[in-house]
């Protein structure tokens, strides 16, 4: 008997901490059995590329960023891209995945991933594969869990960037725009904006009004504050406007990559206020580096809880943080829709009460 693990989707700090917790707690309970790590997300299950994971392989992993197993955000076994006669086609290769799981006598597959990877895990479960999900993503946009690991680390990095932009903004009397990740959900922009003392936060959930944003910066100028800090999520857009697409990755079933809204906001604000502006795109720095203590602990709790859920006979569940406690919910709960920032949430109200503009008044 063996268990399988894979990491799927965009990487984030804390993936290695989950792998470590899973491997350590598994061997404590079942020292004679095996853990197989599949490489590069679902790609490793399609190509049957894997490694044996022993306790000594997870030494030193707690603070290490990325994933030792590798990951992929384009290899979906239900829509796998293949070139046929020079044309791109998407094929269902899920039976190959199931055959490869059987070759390794995999009793249960632990999928550490976001909405995309967990949707694939759910589809596999409908074909009889026993799966357990562990929710990751810097975007914090998975339902049924208060936080995903990786989010706190991304917020740390974005907050640090805002602290650093503040000093140069103040010196040069400039508007500094920081573009952060978040395609549909503005959690990173909201949390880092609040922690980093932003004046304006633009998120996908609240389409903004150009005049409202300009008014906010002009008001600051009139008060003698000749610099401003704006955080904009990559998926933010003006009222009646579109999200700005940086590129399409045609082999992916989730092909859109966003980027560019920061530049547009910086130019517009410069024109309407007469202040100089500069833009910083934080990009993949947000996914890099080691996890924060919060993420190390959450990742460890998730890893141990995932093994315990399986030992308790649960399948097709995702471990989750609810009310500060770790629990297990059906995977379908986690993927039924994206967890967006609720417009009436206490955190939005708190931000507004301290004068932060969302460009909606």
Ligand X SMILES: O=P(O)(O)OC[C@H]1O[C@](O)(COP(=O)(O)O)[C@@H](O)[C@@H]1O
Report the catalytic residues.
139
Give which of ligand X, Mg ion, ligand ADP, none residue 186 binds (C-beta under 5 to 8 Å, depending on kind): none
Binding of residue 137 to ligand ADP (CB under 6 A): yes
Among all chains, which residue has been given the structure tokens 């989750």? 320
Q: State which residue, 116 or 133, has the beta carbon closest to Mg ion.
A: 116
Binding of residue 193 to ligand ADP (CB under 6 A): no
- Distance, in Å, from the CA atom of 262 to the CA atom of 198, rounded to the nearest integer, reads 14
Residues forming beta bridges with residue 89, ordered by sequence position:
82
Cα 30 versus chain centre, distance:
32
Binding of residue 231 to ligand X (CB under 6 A): no
Binding of residue 9 to ligand X (CB under 6 A): yes
Work out how close the CB of 250 gets to ligand ADP at its nearest, in angstroms, rounded to a whole number: 11
Range 124-163, binding ligand X (CB under 6 A): 137-139
Let me know the angle formed at the C-alpha of 247 by 244 and 252, rounded to the nearest 5 degrees: 120
Binding of residue 360 to ligand ADP (CB under 6 A): no
Query: Is 254 among the annotated ligand-binding positions?
Result: no
Q: Name the nearest CA neighbour of 247 among 238, 255, 239.
A: 255
DSSP, residue by residue, 288-333: -SPPPHHHHHHHHHHHHHHHHHHHTT--SEEEEEETTEEEEEEHHH
Region from 77-85, 178-186, 192-200, 269-277 binding ligand X, contact rule CB under 6 A: 178-186
Residues forming beta bridges with residue 9, ordered by sequence position:
none
Query: Is 10 among the annotated ligand-binding positions?
Result: yes
Among all chains, which residue has been given the structure tokens 């829509």? 79
Cα 209 versus chain centre, distance:
27
Work out how close the CB of 233 gets to ligand X at its nearest, in angstroms, rounded to a whole number: 9
Strands (E), the chain: 2-7, 34-38, 50-53, 80-84, 87-91, 106-113, 131-135, 174-180, 200-202, 228-233, 245-248, 256-258, 276-281, 317-322, 325-330
DSSP 8-state symbol, 136: B
Binding of residue 120 to ligand ADP (CB under 6 A): yes
Query: Is the separation of the CB atoms in 232 and 189 below 8 Å?
Result: yes
Q: Judged by CB under 5 A, which of 40, 75, 115, 199 binds Mg ion?
A: 115
Give which of ligand X, Mg ion, ligand ADP, none residue 119 binds (C-beta under 5 to 8 Å, depending on kind): ligand ADP
Query: Is 92 among the annotated ligand-binding positions?
Result: no
Query: Is 20 among the annotated ligand-binding positions?
Result: no
The 3-state DSSP class for residue 9 equals coil
Give which of Mg ion, ligand X, ligand ADP, none residue 190 binds (C-beta under 5 to 8 Å, depending on kind): none
Query: Is 114 among the annotated ligand-binding positions?
Result: yes
Q: State which residue, 12 or 109, has the beta carbon closest to ligand X.
A: 12
Binding of residue 94 to ligand ADP (CB under 6 A): no
- Distance, in Å, from the CA atom of 86 to the CA atom of 225, rounded to the nearest integer, reads 59
Give which of Mg ion, ligand X, ligand ADP, none residue 76 binds (C-beta under 5 to 8 Å, depending on kind): ligand ADP
Binding of residue 181 to ligand X (CB under 6 A): yes
Give which of ligand ADP, Mg ion, ligand X, none residue 266 binds (C-beta under 5 to 8 Å, depending on kind): none
Q: Judged by CB under 5 A, which of 4, 8, 37, 116 binds Mg ion?
A: 116
H and E: helices and strands count for the chain: 11, 15
- Distance, in Å, from the CA atom of 48 to the CA atom of 264, rounded to the nearest integer, reads 45
Binding of residue 206 to ligand X (CB under 6 A): no
Work out how close the CB of 325 gets to ligand ADP at its nearest, in angstroms, rounded to a whole number: 24
- Distance, in Å, from the CA atom of 243 to the CA atom of 245, rounded to the nearest integer, reads 6
Q: Judged by CB under 6 A, which of 3, 5, 7, 10 binds ligand X?
A: 10
Residues in contact with Mg ion by CB under 5 A are 114-116
Annotated binding site for substrate: 137-139, 174, 181-183, 234, 278, 284-287
Residues in contact with ligand ADP by CB under 6 A are 8-10, 73-76, 113-117, 119-120, 137, 252-254
Residues in contact with ligand X by CB under 6 A are 9-10, 73, 114, 116, 137-139, 181-183, 257-258, 287
């Amino acid at each position: 008997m063996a268990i399988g693990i894979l990491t799927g989707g965009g990487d984030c700090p804390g993936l290695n901490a989950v792998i470590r917790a899973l491997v350590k707690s598994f061997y404590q309970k079942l020292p004679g059995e095996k853990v197989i790590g599949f490489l590069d997300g679902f790609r490793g299950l399609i190509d049957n590329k894997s490694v044996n994971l022993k306790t000594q392989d997870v030494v030193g992993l707690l603070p290490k960023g990325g994933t030792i197993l590798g990951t992929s955000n384009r290899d979906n076994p239900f829509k796998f891209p293949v070139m046929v006669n020079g044309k791109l086609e998407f094929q269902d290769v899920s039976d190959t995945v199931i055959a490869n799981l059987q070759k390794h006598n995999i009793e249960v597959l632990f999928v550490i991933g976001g909405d995309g990877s967990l949707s694939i895990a759910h589809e596999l479960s409908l074909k009889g594969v026993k799966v357990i999900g562990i929710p990751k993503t810097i975007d914090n946009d998975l339902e049924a869990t208060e936080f995903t690991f990786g989010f706190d680390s991304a917020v740390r990095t974005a907050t640090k960037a805002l602290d650093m932009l503040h000093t140069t903004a103040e010196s040069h009397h400039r508007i500094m725009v920081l573009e952060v990740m978040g395609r549909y959900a503005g959690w990173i922009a909201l949390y880092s904006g609040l922690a980093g003392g932003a004046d304006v936060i633009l998120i996908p959930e609240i389409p903004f009004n150009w005049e409202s944003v300009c008014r906010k910066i002009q008001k600051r100028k009139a008060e003698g504050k000749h610099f401003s800090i704006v955080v904009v999520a990559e998926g933010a857009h003006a009222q009646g406007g579109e999200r700005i697409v940086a590129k399409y990755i045609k082999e992916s079933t989730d092909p859109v990559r966003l980027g560019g809204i920061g530049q547009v906001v910086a130019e517009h604000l410069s024109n309407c206020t007469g202040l100089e502006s500069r833009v910083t795109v934080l990009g993949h720095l947000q996914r890099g580096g080691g996890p924060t203590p919060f993420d190390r602990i959450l990742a460890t709790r998730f890893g141990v809880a995932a093994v315990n859920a399986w030992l308790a006979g649960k399948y097709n569940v995702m471990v989750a943080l609810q009310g500060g406690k770790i629990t297990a919910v059906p995977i379908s709960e986690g993927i039924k829709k994206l967890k967006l920032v609720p417009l009436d949430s206490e955190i939005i109200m708190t931000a507004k009460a301290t004068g932060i503009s969302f460009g909606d008044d």
